[in-house]
Amino acid sequence: MASKAVLITGCSSGIGHATAERLAADGWKVYATARNPEALRALGDERVVSLQLDVTDADQIRAAADAAPDVELVFNNAGVVIATGIADPTVVDQARREMDVNYFGPLQLLQRFAPTLASNGGGAVVNIGSAAGLTNVPLFPTYSASKAALHSLTQAARALLGAQGTSVFGVYAGLVDTDMVRDLALPKTSPRDVALAILDGIEAGQEDIFPDPFAVNFGRQFESSPKGSERQISAMTAAMLSGSAA
């Protein structure tokens, strides 16, 4: 983790913001991106270069790649979650939005930055996924599906980009204290602690990173029994729905 150049998507808040702060403090040149660059003012570090980037916009992705030719680390962090039931009239449109941001966005970033990483010695990609991408959380069925797609892409990228010397890390977080899950009355981990755990995992060379207590326990359960983890999440969901009804 020697100080180099990193591009991070979704830096206006949460994990992206905390990661940008930490790496800038450690001496990295940070290309911090957000749909609204004004939201990046709080970073306020001379090492931070603010870029406008909507990960669903191919032109903005192209412009970001042109503006950051020295990047050696790419954080695909931008994401969106929409709590929509399968029978909801808007579910298909909402699912497309989640796939656009959570899957097609990282795919386009990989497409554009793979040559940049190769020319800079290989570098690394970090895909911020979710435990929900390994076992679907029924409260967020289509979000979980989009993160499952990202997990699959992470595996493919690891195999395909390894030949150019690019390492690919998958992050499978549990509940992080961000706006996405503010309404869930469950224990959450701070974005700062999650960011630090991710960076520690990268430095340790952990391809699959579980950066919070829930994720660590879930990862063990998933490794020992994927079906058991499905039952665990289903039971947790049922308990939450029962509590809401009461």
* 143-162 residue pLDDT tens: 999 999 999 999 999 999 99
Radius of gyration of the chain (CA): 18
> Residue 3: pLDDT band by 50, 70, 90 thresholds?
low
Rounded-to-integer distance, Cα 82 and Cα 94, Å: 7
User: Which pLDDT score is estimated for 246?
Assistant: 45
Does residue 147 have an active-site annotation? yes
Second-level CATH architecture of 5-245: 3-Layer(aba) Sandwich (3.40)
Catalytic residue among 29, 31, 147, 172: 147
- pLDDT above 90 for 204: yes
* 62-115 residue pLDDT tens: 999 999 999 999 999 999 998 888 999 999 999 999 999 999 999 999 999 999
User: Which pLDDT score is estimated for 183?
Assistant: 63
User: Which pLDDT score is estimated for 185?
Assistant: 59
- pLDDT above 50 for 122: yes
Q: Considering only CA atoms, which of 90, 96, 114, 221 is closest in space to residue 166?
A: 114
Q: Considering only CA atoms, which of 139, 72, 61 is closest in space to residue 100?
A: 61
Residue of higher predicted confidence among 238 and 157: 157
> Residue 166: pLDDT band by 50, 70, 90 thresholds?
very high
0.75 exceeded by pTM: yes
* 23-47 residue pLDDT tens: 999 999 999 999 998 888 878 778 8
- pLDDT above 80 for 243: no
Rounded-to-integer distance, Cα 191 and Cα 172, Å: 13
Averaged pLDDT, 209-226 = 94
Does residue 29 have an active-site annotation? no
Q: Considering only CA atoms, which of 123, 173, 83, 115 is closest in space to residue 1?
A: 123
Rounded-to-integer distance, Cα 62 and Cα 193, Å: 32
What letter represents residue 228's amino acid?
Answer: G
User: Which pLDDT score is estimated for 38?
Assistant: 86
Catalytic residue among 103, 143, 188, 227: 143
User: Which pLDDT score is estimated for 239?
Assistant: 80
